[in-house]
Structure 1
Amino acid sequence: MIRNGAIAILSLAATMAAGDILLIPPLDCDLTQTCYIQQGVDHDPGSGAQDFLCGRLTYDGHKGTDFALPSLAMQAEGVDVIAAAPGTVRGVRNDMADVLQGMPGAPDVADRECGNGVVVSHGDGWETQYCHMKQGSVVVQTGQRVVMGQVMGQVGLSGQTQFPHVHLSVRKDGAVVDPFAPDAPNACGDASGKTLWNTPFAFVPGGLISAGFSDAVPEYAAIKAGTAARQTMPATAPGLVVWGFAFGGRVGDSVTLAIRGPQGEVFTDTQTLDRDQAQLFRAGGRRVPPGGWPRGDYAGTVEMRRDGQTLDVQTTTVTLD
């Protein structure tokens, strides 16, 4: 994922007050290249929803930060959930099935929305909770001491979830705290710059998760699974389609799709979003010309723009032979 510096908002490290907790992200992944933040803490005290930047990368009543994976395939390969800070394990659940809500056979998760997870106490009233972990993957036990960065299990699909991620809740004396803006629980736009993160990193208000080529508009399920992209296709492929999978889409955002081949431009199209969407995909391309496609390498570009500025860009390639 390529983030535009004019858009990506960085949390600036500020002097920590005595007694504050210091955190690292709870996933063993690269937040600039692979995993990403799908949703943050809701700062609207009413029925609306606002993240700490006054944006819409959250939903009403959301009490944590969702660190997401780009595909079910990556989740199946295994991504470790790590302790965000040192502490003592206060509770563990490890027996719930990994089934996305909304899928056939999804269990009733009422009162167990967190799914499999771990709660860690850090002292001085601080605790963190890690939700939606993989069944049977939790390797820590109640009463065990953990250090910052220690593996506690893996990302799963348990509980109330519709995409692979770990939900990190941070609490102080039982109250929800947003690690990006710990002093503004019921307001947004805090300019203090204070954060609980050990190292500053971007809270990106939307962008591209992945991009690829297919010989037709792919099924959304295949994109989410991570199986839609093709690296090679025959020169007789019925179509040449580039697609982009995105998060945090807002009304008015645009997605531009372009394809260039051995003989120059093949396709370009700009599509404008007509509603807010937590996740979405857009695709476009051409049908095979008479006699087939010119053989060689084709490059696809997907650009997401907001308010006249580039929010994110991804490039992808395919070889036709």
Structure 2
Amino acid sequence: MARDFQLDLPIDCVLGETCYIQNYVDHDPSEAASDFQCGALSYDTHNGTDFGLHSLADMDAGVDVLASASGTVRGVRNDMRDVIYTPDLAGEINGRDCGNGVVIAHGDGWETQYCHMKEGSVVVQTGDIVETGDILGEVGLSGRTQFPHVHIVVRRDGNMVDPFDPDGQITCNEPSDVTLWHLPLDTPLGGLITTGFADKVPEYLDVKAGTAAASELSANAPIVLWAFAFGARPGDLLHIAIDGPDGPLFETDDVLDRQQALFMRAGGLNAPDAGWQSGIYTGVVIHSRDGIELDRQTATVTLP
């Protein structure tokens, strides 16, 4: 199956650096959810793969959605506004959960659908012929979504196919090496999205917006290191440490107590009476599970 039809990334980004995979296809037939690795990066009845941006600021700057394979555009929607979904918007969405999007027919029963694109950004029309990598529009926040991403659905003869496990024969801890992706994709079980410094614990909405990080702090203000991450499971460990010009200043280990798709943690110190020493301060955040490091990020800030 994978040899007959292959996909490129549906988004113009560097996976693991400027974007990440938030959710996969749900393979659990019950009301629970399980991804192709028997992990928790999915939710009940989720029928696609979510390639997410780090922040709303990245979305505003513009990130292209790309055709994953060549084909003919079968349908387009381009007029829904970009807004974080809340239950009071159900009437406005009225079943159009995909938001703005594009459907492409590829032949031999294959079809891809691209959802949650930015209002007014779609540049193709029904009937257009597209090649692999052609720009379809931009990543947005339309439809039923709470973070900027492109949700790609793959179907054959009307049936949903998981591009990471097209035969659907799940073996826990041994994911299939036969996929629909033209090149192998890294699929971490969780990790860090962004990390930064601030003079207080930032508001979660500011972290999601991409406006929480400070490039410079005051000598008399608190120094706080925060982390925005995905794929939390109970028992995961988030290690947060800050080093100043003369060495270690702060260190803590936060044991996570519940499963969360997206989450934020922070730690830091109030300024000493004499104020912070001028120089460069470095923060390190490490996300671990069962003693294995999933991800780490480093941030720096300057104190004048």
Q: TM-score, normalised by structure 1?
A: 0.92
- What is the identity, as a one-letter code, of the residue corresponding to 1:247? F
CA distance in 1, matches of 2:220, 2:269: 13
Aligned counterparts of 1:115 and 1:66: Cα–Cα separation in 2: 14
The answer on 1:298 being equivalent to 2:268 is no
- The equivalences for 1:206-245 within 5 A come to 206-237=190-221, 239-245=222-228
Measured after TM superposition, the shift of residue 105 of structure 1 is 7.0
For the pair 1:184 / 2:163, whether they are aligned, the reply is no
Q: Which runs of 5+ in 2 are unaligned?
A: none
Tell whether the 8 Å contact from 1:99 to 1:106 is kept in structure 2 after alignment.
no
- Secondary structure, in 3 states, of the residue corresponding to 1:74? helix
Instruction: Find the counterpart in structure 1 of residue 80 from structure 2.
Output: 96
- Displacement, 1:25? 1.0
Instruction: Tell me which residue corresponds to 1:267.
Output: 250
Matched-pair contact (CA < 8 Å) for 2:285–2:298: yes
Which digits, 9 at most, give the CA deviation of each residue in 1:254-303, with x for residues without a partner?
10100000121110000011000000010000001101111110000000
The one-letter code of the counterpart of 2:115 is C
Partner of 2:183: 199
Deviation at 1:198, TM superposition (A): 0.4
Q: How does 1:282-321 map to 2 (within 5 A)?
A: 282-321=265-304
Q: Which amino acid aligns with 2:76?
A: V
| Corresponding residue SS for 1:299 | strand
Q: CA RMSD in A?
A: 1.5
CA offsets, 1:20-63, max 9 Å, x none? Answer: 31101100000021100000000112222110011110001000
Point out where structure 1 has 5 or more consecutive residues left out of the alignment. 1-14
- Whether the 8 Å CA contact 2:217–2:223 is kept in 1: the answer is no
The aligned amino acid for 1:274 is D
Check whether the contact 2:165–2:175 (CA below 8 A) recurs between aligned residues: no
- Choose which of 96, 100, 110 in structure 2 pairs with 1:126: 110
Q: 1:16 to 1:103 in 2, by over 3 A?
A: closer
Q: 1:255 touches 1:302 (CA, 8 Å); kept in 2?
A: yes
Q: 2:231 aligns with which of 237, 241, 248?
A: 248
Tell me which residue corresponds to 2:64: 80
1:222 partner SS: helix
Query: Which residue pairs with 2:37 in the alignment?
Result: 53
Q: CA separation in 2, counterparts of 1:81 and 1:152? A: 6
Q: CA deviation at 1:107?
A: 6.2
Moved more, 143-152 or 107-116: 107-116
How many angstroms does 1:233 deviate by?
A: 1.2
Aligned length, in residue pairs: 303
- For CA contacts below 8 A with separation 6 or more, give which structure has more relative contact order: 1
8 Å CA contact retained: 1:100, 1:106? no
Cα shift readout 1:194-221 (whole Å, capped 9, x = no counterpart): 1000000111111000000000100001
Equivalent of 1:166, from 133, 146, 150? Answer: 150
3-state SS of paired residue (2:92): coil
What letter corresponds to residue 232 of structure 2 in structure 1? Answer: G
Counterpart Cα distance in 1 of 2:303 and 2:171:
49
Q: How far apart in 2 are the matches of 1:67 and 1:210?
A: 15
Q: Does 1:22 align with 2:6?
A: yes
Cα distance, 1:64 vs structure 2: 0.1
Give the share of equivalent positions with the same residue, in percent: 56
Bigger mean CA offset, 124-133 vs 102-111: 102-111
Amino acid at match of 1:63: N
The 1:104–1:263 alpha-carbon spacing in structure 2 relative to 1, beyond 3 Å, is farther
Do the aligned partners of 2:2 and 2:166 also contact (CA within 8 Å) in 1?
no
